[in-house]
Amino acid sequence: MAPLVEALARTVVYLGQQRSALALTAEDVTGRLGGLLLDGREFADAEADRFRAECQAAEAETVRRLSTVLADTAERALTDRVRALDRRTAVLVGLAVAGALILGISGGWWAGDRSARAEITTIEDSVRAAFREGPGAAALWTDLMRWNDPKAALATCREAGEILIQGGRRACRIPFWIERPPPAQRM
């Protein structure tokens, strides 16, 4: 059971890392699109200024009488056009960010799902191999796993005197319980 929990914990950590990477990518995309929106506004303002300057240079006496009306109309039209451009740009930015998020989340889920399935299959194969001797062996392995804490047992392997070499492989003396612990005594 502990290997399954450890595999699940590793999968959760991996997915958390994928989520963080996705969040950084989304921030970068949002920043870049914000810069493009700012550039668009500056361009629109520059075009509006250029339009006004050309109108003033071409003014004549007749145009002078109509300049107030034309300037107001042009200002409103330009403002409406800039607003429409801002709305379109905002919609495009929103769609791009939403698309990036959907792709990132889908890709992260897909990669995590595949990774988790592969780990679970490997663990299932290992458990199946351990239980190949039948139900009695399976029950014995289950009891041994219940009675022994592998992390606590392997912690003793960090001490230099506990490590030995047998058949060219490193080994460690660890406590390995072969029967259930006695019931806790109440005081």
Q: Give the global pTM.
A: 0.32
Residues 74, 51 contacting (CB under 8 angstroms) = yes
pLDDT computed for residue 187 by the predictor? 60
Using CA atoms, how far residue 50 sits from 37, 54, 57, 79, 81, in Å, is 20, 6, 11, 15, 16
State yes or no: pLDDT of 55 exceeds 70.
no
For the residues 60-72, what does the mean pLDDT come to? 72
Res 159: pLDDT:
77
Long-range contacts of 87-93 (CB under 8 A, 24+ apart): 89/36, 89/37, 89/40, 90/37, 93/30, 93/33, 93/34, 93/36, 93/37
Say yes or no to pLDDT of 154 above 70.
yes
Query: What integer pLDDT is reported at residue 144 of this predicted model?
Result: 86
Chain centroid to CA 112:
10
How high is the pLDDT of residue 169? 92
Please give the residue that has the higher pLDDT: either 83 or 66.
83
Residue-range domain boundaries for the chain: 2-133
pLDDT at 140 over 80: yes
**Mean pLDDT taken over the chain:** 82
Q: pLDDT-derived band of residue 98, with 50, 70 and 90 as boundaries?
A: very high
pLDDT tens for 14-53 read 888 888 888 888 888 888 888 888 888 888 889 888 887 7
